[in-house]
Amino acid sequence: MASLATESLFTANTADAALQHEIEQFLYYEAAVLDARRYTDWLDLLSEDCSYYMPTRYNRTRREMEHEFSHENEVAHFDDDKASLRVRVKRLLTGQAWAEDPPSRTRHMVTNVRIGRRSANDLQVFCNFHVYRSRLERDVETFVGERHDTLRRHSAAPGWQIVRRVILLDQTVLLAKNISIFL
């Protein structure tokens, strides 16, 4: 079985150009919504049964690479569902979240979008990301990695929802004081 980090390499890209463009535009739209701090609009891009998961990453020897990421039911940076994401967004919008007052300025960049396996309504989508975050005068962080998304066709604009997101950071040690933003 492929590891989380290499799973997308082994998935044949079966997307036609129109679908590829549509998925890229959806991901760019999501990035713009997050950068504009439109968090309630971002929640609308998530299905009611969504999972938002970012395992911790460890430095391992070649023979231990299957243990490079924490597994489900182990410690993770994020292990949220839609209800917990709603709570996080609600807290951000109150102005009482000390880690986001004043709010962070972010720039989400998405690249290398690859469409993997398809079912009747769902797509597996892999992409690389770079999120730049600045806050106050001197707090600057970058988060770089790969995302594994499951997207589901949705009747409302923009036409897709995120059912599952697995975020694989390249960093093993996070130098940020907190992770109060969404990747």
| Residue with more model confidence, 98 or 115 | 115
User: What is residue 137's predicted lDDT score, i.e. its pLDDT?
Assistant: 86
User: What is residue 44's predicted lDDT score, i.e. its pLDDT?
Assistant: 97
61-94 pLDDT, tens digit each: 899 998 889 988 888 989 999 999 999 999 999 8
For the record, the structure tokens of 7 come out as 């799973």
pLDDT for 178 beyond 90: no
pLDDT for 1 beyond 50: no
Mean pLDDT, the chain, integer: 90
Q: What confidence tier does 6 reach under pLDDT thresholds 50, 70, 90?
A: low
Contact 125, 138 (CB under 8 A): no
For the record, the structure tokens of 55 come out as 């395992």
Give the residue-averaged pLDDT of 146-173: 95
Angstrom distance (rounded) from CA 163 to CA 181: 19
pLDDT for 12 beyond 60: no
**How far, CA to CA in Å, does 183 sit from each of 10, 54, 109, 119?**
24, 9, 10, 25
Nearest to 35 by CA among 82, 103, 99: 103
pTM of the model as a whole? 0.89
Give the residue-averaged pLDDT of 106-125: 93
Nearest to 178 by CA among 135, 138, 130, 146: 135
Q: Per-domain residue ranges for the chain?
A: 7-169
Q: Which fold has domain 7-169?
A: Nuclear Transport Factor 2; Chain: A, (3.10.450)
User: What is residue 182's predicted lDDT score, i.e. its pLDDT?
Assistant: 95
